[in-house]
Amino acid sequence: MACRNPELASLRTAKRKDLIAATTRELEKVAAMIAGGRLAGRDKIGVRVGKVLNKYKVGKHFDLDIQDTAFAFSVNEARVAAEAALDGLYVIRTSAAEADMSAEAAVLNYKRLGLRGARLPHAQGR
């Protein structure tokens, strides 16, 4: 069954926005390095850009143009919107027959699993 959690949706939207903003700031620094002559070569620029994208993990939301002496980027708003449409959605799958467990019971049991996991020592960073 598919479920939607509006609070989770808000959290994911805010986190994505923050990560895209942080990535943009770092990519602007790379562009400034190139413009200032401190970084050149498509390979070197690509490695530096790759480090930024790997740091924040939102590279899929950016369109990049890397040249030997130039670099340009933009946020692909269509990809951001497509991902945002799924914010807060998740699927719960169970092998229990519908006659044995209602959708509401499946969701409740799923949430109970999360509560139990929160009490485990490894879940608390031990």
Mind listing the pLDDT tens digit of every residue in the chain (126 residues)?
788 889 999 999 999 999 999 999 999 999 999 999 999 999 999 999 999 999 999 999 999 999 999 999 999 999 999 999 999 998 888 888 878 888 888 888 887 887 665 554 444 443
Token pair for residue 104?
A: 């509401």
The answer to whether 88 and 16 are in contact (CB under 8 A) is no
C-alpha 59/C-alpha 53 separation (Å) is: 5
Q: Domain segments of the chain: what residues?
A: 2-84, 92-124
Q: Which residue from 116, 93, 113 is spatially nearest to 3, judged by alpha carbons?
A: 93
Global pTM reads 0.77
Place of tokens 């805010």: 14
Widest pairwise Cα distance in the chain: 69
